Amino acid sequence: MLTLFEQKEVFVISSNENFQRYVRDNLPDGDFAVTGEAVSCTEARQKMMNNRCAVVLINIPLADECGTELASDLAENTPSSVIAVVKNEQEPEMRQSLEPAGIFVLGRPFPHTTFHQALYDAASAYARMQIISQENQRLQIKLIDLRIVNRAKYALIQYLGMTEDQAHKYIEQQAMSQRISKRKAAENILKTYENGS
């Protein structure tokens, strides 16, 4: 069933039970849902390996580590947007060290409106990164297609003495006549000539 918006998943990492409760009780209505929790860096690393949530909230410090290294690791190695929640007096220093890694920094205590805005900003950044990631995958596939077509062209040049233009037209004709992609036509050519060489 289609909805007007997709609920954004939030993963909460905090050694403080009160913070976890605050997040669960104060998420913007309907837009966000807590889908996972951890109380330490070790537990968070285990649980985040297969988690594809939009936002990770880390309440720094944690019981077993500070949490800044975990924040950096998650920002670098997962698609999630990371919000590091720190004491207000630490915010300027943390902002300086964490924001260059793409981590949002939120000083506590904070009003509900600031908390909500941070969640929406992080979710927006996550959505933007998903679009960029999909475009990057599309371009990578296109680049692979181009490399395969070029290899087939050079096989035709080498084995049949075609010019580059003739080889290009031949691949296009094969794709059209067989109703397949140029990449598939090129792969068929490569099977014939590269495997037979």
pLDDT in tens, 40-98: 999 998 888 777 789 999 999 998 888 999 999 999 888 899 999 999 999 999 999 99
Domain hosting 161: range is 137-193
Residues 105 and 25 placed together within one structural domain of the fold: yes
Residues 85 and 49 placed together within one structural domain of the fold: yes
Asked if residue 123 is part of any domain, the answer here is no
Residues 101 and 12 placed together within one structural domain of the fold: yes
Q: What is the pLDDT of residues 154-171, one digit of tens each?
A: 999 999 999 999 999 999
Q: How many domains does the chain divide into? A: 2
CATH of the domain at 75: 3.40.50.2300
pLDDT at 4 over 50: no
Residues 172 and 98 placed together within one structural domain of the fold: no
CB 48 within 8 A of CB 54: no
Residues 29 and 100 placed together within one structural domain of the fold: yes
Q: What is the pLDDT of residues 19-50, one digit of tens each?
A: 999 999 999 878 898 989 999 999 998 888 77
Burial 125-153 (b: 16+ CB within 10 A, else e): bbeeeeeeeeeeeeeeeeeebeebbebbb
Asked if residue 45 is part of any domain, the answer here is yes
Q: What is the pLDDT of residues 121-149, one digit of tens each?
A: 999 888 888 888 889 999 999 999 999 99
pTM of the model: 0.71
Asked if residue 53 is part of any domain, the answer here is yes
Residues 60 and 154 placed together within one structural domain of the fold: no
